[in-house]
Amino acid sequence: MTTAPQTNPVERILMGPGPSTVPHRILRALSAPTLGHLDPQYLEIMDETCAMLRQVFRTQNPLTFPVSGTGMAGMECVATNLLEPGDEAIVCINGVFGTRMKDVMERCGATVHAIEAAWGDTFTHEQLAAALDAHPRAKLLGIVHAETSTGALQPLEGLSALCREKGALLVVDAVTSLGGHELRVDDWGIDAIYSGTQKCLSCPPGLAPVSFGERALAAMDARKTKPQSWYLDVSMLRKYYTGGSGGGGRVYHHTAPINMTYALREALAIVLEEGLEARIERHRQMHLRLRAGLESLGLAYIPKHSLHPLNCIHAPAGKDEAALRKSLLTDYGIEIGGGLGPMAGKALRIGLMGHTATTRNVDLLLAALRSLLA
């Protein structure tokens, strides 16, 4: 009999665009006994997880739950349930994930009108109002709150009023902002939103928290066709996630990722124990500390409005950025990311997400960069 080799990955300090470092407390939660997806114990844990997600999203939306899959599954879930063939949508593109949103929505059979800004820039209310005026049949406007590919933070306050005036839904990508940046679903009038577990929540990749408001639910109820995805069909998923406590009224859809739900519940508990406001402020302080150190080394930020959890800077002049990242990984055990698309080879992306956003990690990275750039 052949003995399989053991899996013993080297531990890294994850300071790239994701995943972030996962606390041992969450890893231990993953190892708890697996239950059935309709076991009353599991349903109680799942309900607690959804309730905590509502707190972190800052919403009262009953339909707030973790989609089985990573952040892109959240994007597909929102798109496939809100759009059907013949619909029109507006998508804001200023990086990789706006581009992906357009692609996903086109695959739903929608006509997608793209408005574009330079990578690293954000959109103004005037640009968005003009797009809504130009496309009055648009069912929704999709926008990325935290563009991971460029480190740009898109202001969202006031966008809902623009959308509602034109009868459009506001759809937001918050994969890199949930739990690390100011985000208020109800106060900002966001109709549908999705995120991922592996960024500021410091949970392993594998779930995509989503939340749907009343206007989004009404749009789904008014569909003329079934969503193209059976697996992500919210008309069935909602019967499982909101069908009542203790198993009453629950309708089985697919086997939930039981142990990942344990991990997400533990991650959300850590967020709420720290306090959401305190956690957001910690990310801000670590961003400022990193920024001051990088700028003292002559490294400049690319976006005008920078995310706190994801810092995108110009690659050092005269240096091979890929070789620099390799040295950080092999010599210091620190992972950071490179640029994507037109920024490939020209940018470095440094994550300060969740458990990674600490003074120790910031200072270690700055010391390592100072040594490598000397």
Taking only the tens place, the pLDDT of each residue in 33-65 is: 999 999 999 999 999 999 999 999 999 999 999
- pLDDT band, residue 203 (cuts 50/70/90): very high
Q: Is the pLDDT of residue 243 over 90?
A: no
Residues 6+ apart with CB under 8 A from 152: 94, 95, 120, 121, 122, 146, 303, 304, 305, 306, 307, 312
- pLDDT band, residue 1 (cuts 50/70/90): low
Query: 50-66 as b/e, with b when 16 or more CB fall inside 10 Å?
Result: bebbbebbbbebbbbbb
% of the chain with per-residue pLDDT over 90: 94
**Residue 8: per-residue pLDDT:** 87
Average pLDDT of every residue of the chain: 96
Q: Is the pLDDT of residue 247 over 70?
A: no
Q: What are phi and psi of 66, to 5 degrees?
A: -95, 120
Query: 13-17+276-373 maps to which CATH number?
Result: 3.90.1150.10
Give domain limits for the chain. Answer: 13-17+276-373, 24-271
d(CA 79, CA 81): 6
Q: What are phi and psi of 201, to 5 degrees?
A: -85, -15
**Residue 6: per-residue pLDDT:** 77
Residues 6+ apart with CB under 8 A from 306: 151, 152, 153, 287, 291, 312
**Residue 55: per-residue pLDDT:** 98
**Residue 67: per-residue pLDDT:** 98
Token pair belonging to 149: 């590919």
- pLDDT band, residue 244 (cuts 50/70/90): very low
Summarised one tens digit per residue, pLDDT across range 321-374 is: 999 999 999 999 999 999 999 999 999 999 999 999 999 999 999 999 999 998
Q: What angle do helix axes 258-274 and 40-57 make, rounded to 10 degrees?
A: 40
Q: Is the pLDDT of residue 7 over 90?
A: no
- Residue tagged 């577990």 (tokens): 197
CB 299 within 8 A of CB 316: yes
**Residue 246: per-residue pLDDT:** 45
d(CA 190, CA 78): 13
Query: 24-271 maps to which CATH number?
Result: 3.40.640.10
- Residue tagged 């130009």 (tokens): 134
CB 224 within 8 A of CB 202: no
**Residue 268: per-residue pLDDT:** 98
pTM, two decimals, is 0.95
Summarised one tens digit per residue, pLDDT across range 124-168 is: 999 999 999 999 999 999 999 999 999 999 999 999 999 999 999
Sheet holding 310-314, edge to edge: 310-314, 347-351, 337-338
Token pair belonging to 221: 């109820």
**Residue 248: per-residue pLDDT:** 53
**Residue 2: per-residue pLDDT:** 73
